[in-house]
Chains A and B, each alone.
Chain A
Amino acid sequence: DVKVTQSSRYLVKRTGEKVFLECVQDMDHENMFWYRQDPGLGLRLIYFSYDVKMKEKGDIPEGYSVSREKKERFSLILESASTNQTSMYLCASSLSNPPEQFFGPGTRLTVL
């Protein structure tokens, strides 16, 4: 069974703080993804990575950065958190083929 874990289920931060969300997968998947999930907007891709140290912008990268130093770990960084970044953040991983993605449990981030 593929396991994708995320460092926190719930996180509360203040505006302007630097926030790190971490994701680890244990199935040697080359691809990893960060999404945010908002009611009525579905899942929107923030960043993805198809190899160590490689990253690509998704649909809504503004205000975020990522880091992938090891194959199993993909971090999402909010350099200066803002209230409009309050959301559920989902991490996923996949092989290149098949492209089925496996998701973590999510981190609900609240920025006050």
Chain B
Amino acid sequence: AQRVTQPEKLLSVFKGAPVELKCNYSYSGSPELFWYVQYSRQRLQLLLRHISRESIKGFTADLNKGETSFHLKKPFAQEEDSAMYYCALSVSGAGSYQLTFGKGTKLSVIP
């Protein structure tokens, strides 16, 4: 069965410091991975997906199939980056695609 692991429940960094949120997955098929973000009192929203290889709000994530990882990185953290971040893996089955989510990492950026 597929699994997504986010090893850190909480990550605190100082403003301006680099950020790396870790995500590892296990899946026998060809993975499609996403990062979702939830700011305080807002709905969960897509941050980026590996297929598009884009940078959103300065964040990037590279799929490493050898290490089965999809870590989220940003070179300089901003206070507005404080939020809950979820890594998700798309799997197909039962007529549709589903997302398997990690347990999330709460990022706190210290001013």
Residues in chain A within 8 A of chain B (CB atoms): 30-31, 33, 35, 40-45, 48, 50-51, 54, 56, 58, 90, 92, 94, 96-106
The CA of A40 and the CA of B102, in the complex, are separated in Å by: 10
Report yes or no: B96 in contact with A50, Cβ–Cβ below 8 A: yes
In the complex, chain B residues whose CB is within 8 Å of the CB of A54:
95
CB contact between B98 and one of A33, A102, A105 (< 8 Å): that residue? A33
With beta carbons under 8 angstroms apart, the residue of A44, A96, A99, A103 that contacts B44 is A103
- Binary per-residue interface labels of chain B (6-18) against chain A in the complex, 1 for a CB within 8 Å, 0 otherwise: 1001000000000
Do A50 and B34 have beta carbons less than 8 Å apart?
no
B residues contacting the other copy or chain, number (CB 8 A): 23
Who on chain B is nearest to A103 by CB? B44
Are A90 and B44 neighbours in the complex by a CB distance under 8 Å? yes
B54 CB-CB contact with A under 8 Å: no
Is B110 an interface residue when CB atoms closer than 8 A count as contact?
A: no
Give every chain B residue within 8 A of A98 (Cβ-Cβ): 49, 51
Does B79 interact with chain A (Cβ within 8 Å)?
Answer: no
Given contacts A40-B103, A41-B103, A99-B90, contact A30 B43 (CB under 8 A): no
Residue of B nearest to A41 (CB): B103
> How near does chain B come to A108, taking the closest CB pair, in angstroms?
11
In-complex Cβ contact of B96 among A31, A100, A102, A105 (8 A):
A31
Rounded to whole angstroms, the CA-CA distance of A43 and B98 in the bound complex is 12
- Give the residues in chain B near A30, CB-CB below 8 Å: 96
Candidates B32, B90, B96, B103; contact of A42 at CB < 8 Å: B103
B97 to chain A: closest residue by CB: A99
Please name the 8 residue pairs, one residue from A and one from B, whose CB atoms are nearest each other, closest first.
Answer: A99-B97, A50-B96, A42-B103, A50-B95, A43-B101, A103-B44, A99-B90, A56-B94
